[in-house]
Amino acid sequence: MQFTFRPGVARQLALAAGALSIASLVSSCNSGGDFAKTKSGIEYKLFKKDGSKYTARTVANGEDPTFKDRQGKFLLAHVTYLTGKDSVLQSSRQQLQNHPVPLPLMAATRKGGQEEALALVQPGDSAVFRFRADSLFKGRPVPAELKRGGNYLVMQVVGVKVIDQAEAMSMQQELQQIAMAEQQRQMRAYAADQDKKDEVTLQDYIKKNNLTAAKKSATGSGVYILTTQPGTGPDAKPGQLVTVKYRGTLLDGKEFDSSAKHPGQPDFSFAVGRGQVIPGWDDALTQLSKGAKATILVPSSLAYGKAGSPPAIPANSPLRFDIEVVDIKDAPKMPAGAMNPAAQAPTSAPAGQ
């Protein structure tokens, strides 16, 4: 498993505690004099561990003659990527709950990149590398985070030990599970915090728009349902095919989607509880029957979350839907062995369209 720079996760990984500890280490390394340079232009500082302290280590001509003994193996290390202004972009400590990650040690396929930088790091070293972003991303757009951070990408590495390929491969599944568990923990913590904010926003919206008859979902999800016209018969059940007319708006009243906007498809059908629509819809529709009309207020965590659905739906947006349940019927049975279409159904488009 190779730990590499992925600018898309920058905001998720900038956790306060990790950022402070990393920034303090980088700051202490930066205080140890000017950066040296490799022949290819990588700026670097190397420090070897001497007891409980780090002392500067020099590398003649920016090349480590001992690298030949490590080439083809893996450096088990903690690695962090930052902007030129020390804003954390990605951190193995944060993603992997302080576990080091195996980094491949190989001959540089091109000069001036991560492979060449890692060749200088020995177990026990702490190193800071600084890359010019426009050089590193040559031929590709420089991520906005790096432009704002001084047009540099900084890589900080703390070497632990060198391991062989077999040991690195055996660690892969465990590290992936740790990363997934940490990501889920962060998502739960984020959603819990955002849900509190959305609850305040929705309560304020309900009061201002005289929707005080709206009731919270019976599931306790945080969705509000205001039935404006009762339906007949039983409520929709998970797995049933529901057909609706709908209109979706932001809380400021701006419409982002409606069934009327889809010529030839004035009604929208989906199987309830199969992940074919946003979770707020799956929750609310099990509490509505055929013929019902309702206003549904959905917190952002049960809509499009922190990503939003650009450009129509900003991040962390609670949403309003005005819905009419046109029909409810049993979904047709799938042939034996057929793949459940819900397993591939998109959930990012407004209301599943």
Span 181-205, pLDDT tens digits: 877 777 778 888 899 999 999 999 9
**pLDDT (0 to 100) of residue 234:** 94
The catalytically annotated residue of 152, 268, 270, 321 is 321
Q: Is 246 among the catalytic positions?
A: yes
Q: Is the pTM for the entire model greater than 0.85? A: no
Side chain identity at residue 110, one-letter code: R
* Residues paired with residue 82 on neighbouring β-strands, in sequence order: 88, 154
Would you say residue 18 has pLDDT above 50? Answer: no
**pLDDT (0 to 100) of residue 335:** 53
pLDDT band at 20 (very low <50, low <70, confident <90, very high): very low
Tell me which of 326 and 1 has the higher pLDDT: 326
The catalytically annotated residue of 22, 47, 304, 323 is 304
Q: Is 257 among the catalytic positions?
A: yes
Q: What is the pLDDT of residues 79-116, one digit of tens each?
A: 999 999 888 988 888 888 888 999 999 988 888 889 99
**pLDDT (0 to 100) of residue 334:** 54
Q: Is 137 among the catalytic positions?
A: no
pLDDT band at 262 (very low <50, low <70, confident <90, very high): confident
For residue 85, give both structure tokens.
Answer: 């202004």
Would you say residue 290 has pLDDT above 80? Answer: yes
The catalytically annotated residue of 64, 125, 198, 257 is 257
Same topology for domains 7-163 and 205-352, yes or no? yes
* Residues paired with residue 78 on neighbouring β-strands, in sequence order: 158
Distances (CA, A) of 208 to 39, 227, 251, 268: 65, 18, 11, 30
CATH number of 205-352: 3.10.50.40
Q: Is 283 among the catalytic positions?
A: no
Coil, helix or strand for 248? strand
The catalytically annotated residue of 256, 270, 283, 328 is 256
For residue 248, give both structure tokens.
Answer: 């979706």
Q: Is 278 among the catalytic positions?
A: yes
Domain ranges of the chain: 7-163, 205-352
Would you say residue 329 has pLDDT above 70? Answer: yes
Domain 7-163, CATH class in plain words = alpha beta
Tell me which of 252 and 3 has the higher pLDDT: 252
